[in-house]
A and B are shown apart, each in its own frame.
Chain A
């Protein structure tokens, strides 16, 4: 627009003020995007779950295992196509500071159950063949500097002692919500050493018709209700969602902080705009004398506010998106697939608009309503 040079010139009047204010907006929106992404990532992960997979766990609690004999009964349940099982191992590597999930699985059936874990075929076969083999997520190779073919030793916490595995395969998740830093080894290897104490931690089922998940769950749970190990069966999605609630009231916390951040930045921007406005009453009077209408002046001030908010938003939101995308963040293994969603970008842009309006409206209104004659008299 033809008035743009005027607006830009005004911003350049106090270069540092404009720069600092824009940077404040950028920082605030970067923070906002980061906080909101924690929530959106948790939500996305909680919604992860193939519609045709179900989890069977011990009704008493997730830490309680289930008898191996259940496998056959589950396979025989109408609607169930495939069954596999796993056991949480909870081993530590090195000094144990870097947490990662590791569990014992039934190799063939487990990998078939989770096609999202993409492994080269030869590695997959090597893993299945060798009892002491392990498959690791590709991130673990980076984190620990492991190579395929290397022996790694974990310290058992639930199953004490040193456990050595040979890495035969590396998986890459095709779905962001599956972590890329888990490790799986043979269930039989665990059973060998701890025969009395090892039974499956949970079962995973594939059902033929996702629409019948509720029926299947009821059949299974009713069947085991009166046994010594009653079951709780649910879709994988519900299971994941339950996991996510364990984070506690993260949403509220992030939301509250986010609000505080936005308000704080509103103070900063509004203040800067008001200061600029106060210094320019004389000039506004001159412009009106030349013939600029009230409305034009209102718009000019609003554009100024919009430029600051807009540039800051671009830098802050764009920066967050780029940073987390490039760095492929995983936040210590707890938030796989951490990234800034499109929704967050939209929300953040909305805040920028709000910021522009709120910080600009009072100075713009005052500029528009400035009584020229009074202003001139003060000036002369």
Chain B
């Protein structure tokens, strides 16, 4: 015989303030949980979406980031001529040798030595086709031979004087901003793009940092890798683009996730204690009622289940509050430094339905854990004593 739920509902309403406080305590834990994981999520997905599995990225052997790599013009030509490189509709290879540097740009609102390190990527005009999801949202592509640059939407929002037609200054030169581009939320949106031939003389001399190309057959990646890495004329490492960028975010991503779990775990313990207190008090104050229920013939298991359910529902309500509190964060743009590439990456908090669901589950778990001992106590109430 199950204890009617209406009993729990009415009882809970008898202690509105206490219930609300317990729910709110749990809610705050869930809010922090969702917020922090959406931060880690946002960062990881910005970097993960940066690469696609159908592209390959070639770096100098041993380099662990584009920054520390160097590929000569010769090597770039050899790679471009490889049979594993796909060709576009115009018959030309879908390959983009790129210059990758990190330049110091002024951070708005700070003194002159507080600089943001921004990625400046010198690309070939094929880059817009090779790298996926690049869309020009304002202005037009830079033209060959000119000191023109395109800004990713996220970096455009964070640099002063970065509208179409404005001039920005780096590498000892002035560059005219001619377009803004979006890149599916990936880290490219935090970059400045210009023509590789223009960047080369300004920065590193006659060398590229990476070559990115579309795989003719994405399934044949391993074959392509073996061929290129085995080629004696060049000393390179070949990575699947998506894997590479995902690994780049590994350190910071792991740190963020670790922090999220640690912080919310500690908070959760506190919230669970709160739930335990509340449920113990509930059982204590309703001892005569419990005794009556048991006398009437309700099984102790049902009484226990009833209290567990009550605790779980209060916690779930708290979980909903927590999710609602954290929701407005979605889409908020923030930035941090990706220590692998030593550059700033701007990304948006990313709250997913899955994450919200996890938050709710987390809340219910807290409620059940907190309510367990009190509920157990209720079930084992010595009836005769309680009725006296």
Q: Does a CB–CB distance below 8 Å link A and B in the complex?
A: yes
Within 8 A of A (CB), among B39-55: 39
* Interface pick from B80-88, B142-150, B271-279: B271-279
- A261 and B267 contact, Cβ closer than 8 Å, known pairs A267-B22, A274-B18: yes
Within 8 A of A (CB), among B3-37: 17-18, 21-22, 24-25, 28-29, 31-32, 35-36
For residue A263, which residues in chain B have a CB less than 8 angstroms away from its CB?
28
**A57 closest partner in B (C-beta):** B104
Q: Is the CB of B266 within 8 A of A31?
A: yes
Question: How far is it, in angstroms, between the C-alpha of A263 and the C-alpha of B325 when the chains are bound?
Answer: 13
Name the distance in Å between B343's Cβ and chain A's nearest Cβ.
Answer: 9
Q: Is the CB of B280 within 8 A of A17?
A: yes
Name the distance in Å between A261's Cβ and chain B's nearest Cβ.
Answer: 6
Contact of B62 among A23, A161, A272 (CB under 8 A): A161
Q: Is the CB of A16 within 8 A of B31?
A: no
For residue A239, which residues in chain B have a CB less than 8 angstroms away from its CB?
113
For residue B115, which residues in chain A have a CB less than 8 angstroms away from its CB?
242
Total residue contacts A-B, CB cutoff 8 A: 165
Contact of A20 among B35, B110, B273, B334 (CB under 8 A): B273
Q: Is the CB of A260 within 8 A of B28?
A: yes
Q: Is the CB of A230 within 8 A of B172?
A: yes
- A157 and B334 contact, Cβ closer than 8 Å, known pairs A27-B270, A61-B103: no
Within 8 A of A (CB), among B227-278: 251, 255, 263, 266-267, 269-271, 273-274, 276-278
Q: Is the CB of B263 within 8 A of A268?
A: no
**B25 closest partner in A (C-beta):** A267
Interface size of B in residues (CB-CB distance below 8 Å): 60
Contact of A60 among B62, B113, B171 (CB under 8 A): B171
Q: Is the CB of A274 within 8 A of B113?
A: no
Within 8 A of B (CB), among A308-364: 332
Interface string of B265-298 (1 = CB under 8 A from A): 0110111011011101100010000000000000
Q: Is the CB of A245 within 8 A of B104?
A: no
Q: Is B197 an interface residue, CB under 8 A from the partner?
A: no
Interface size of A in residues (CB-CB distance below 8 Å): 58
Name the distance in Å between A52's Cβ and chain B's nearest Cβ.
Answer: 17
Q: Is the CB of B337 within 8 A of A24?
A: no
**B104 closest partner in A (C-beta):** A61
Q: Is the CB of A62 within 8 A of B64?
A: no
Q: Is A210 an interface residue, CB under 8 A from the partner?
A: no
For residue A30, which residues in chain B have a CB less than 8 angstroms away from its CB?
266
Q: Is B61 an interface residue, CB under 8 A from the partner?
A: yes
Question: How far is it, in angstroms, between the C-alpha of A267 and the C-alpha of B61 when the chains are bound?
Answer: 56
**B111 closest partner in A (C-beta):** A238
Question: How far is it, in angstroms, between the C-alpha of A272 and the C-alpha of B276 when the chains are bound?
Answer: 10
Q: Is the CB of A157 within 8 A of B102?
A: no
Q: Is the CB of A257 within 8 A of B101?
A: no
Interface string of A41-63 (1 = CB under 8 A from B): 00000000000000000011111
Interface string of A249-266 (1 = CB under 8 A from B): 100010011001101110
For residue B344, which residues in chain A have a CB less than 8 angstroms away from its CB?
246, 248
Name the distance in Å between A332's Cβ and chain B's nearest Cβ.
Answer: 8
User: Which 3 residue pairs of A and B lie closest in terms of their CB atoms, listed nearest first?
Assistant: A268-B274, A248-B336, A267-B25
